[in-house]
Amino acid sequence: MTNEKETLTLDDWKSAFTVQDACNLSGVVFSFAKIMQKICNDPENVGTDWKNNHPIAVLYASKISSLTGLGFHSNDTAFGRACDAITARINKG
């Protein structure tokens, strides 16, 4: 067992898109919790606002909101920016 903290992988970035097709809230929440820990471990982490607005967190939160029937109450621009940031990261490799 290693003492290194897990950080985000390319698959984690991709999961933010694939989770949009999910229908099982518990699966989404469990996956989000694991990825959120990796976001917290990220060397670029500069605090709560950074984590709350991380593109992966935005897309997961959107899906959770959708599955619970609340709808996504943030503006569409935030969702679009998150999608653009994730696409750019995935394309970077």
Give the whole-angstrom CA distance, residue 4 versus residue 72: 35
Flag whether pLDDT at 67 surpasses 70: yes
CA torsion through residues 27, 74, 47, 18, sign: positive
Q: What percent of the chain has pLDDT over 90?
A: 74
Using alpha carbons, select from 44, 80, 84, 50 the residue that is nearest to residue 62.
Answer: 80
Residue 28 vs residues 4, 44, 58, 61, 64: alpha-carbon distances, Å: 25, 24, 13, 9, 7
90 pLDDT band, cuts 50/70/90, is very high
Count other Cβ atoms within 10 Å, centred on residue 60: 25
78 pLDDT band, cuts 50/70/90, is confident
Give the whole-angstrom CA distance, residue 88 versus residue 38: 19
The pLDDT mean for the chain works out to 90
Question: Domain coordinates of the chain in residue numbers?
Answer: 10-92
- The pTM for the full model equals 0.85
- Mean pLDDT, rounded, for 32-42: 97
pLDDT of residue 54: 97
Using alpha carbons, select from 49, 41, 54, 48 the residue that is nearest to residue 83.
Answer: 54
pLDDT of residue 93: 85
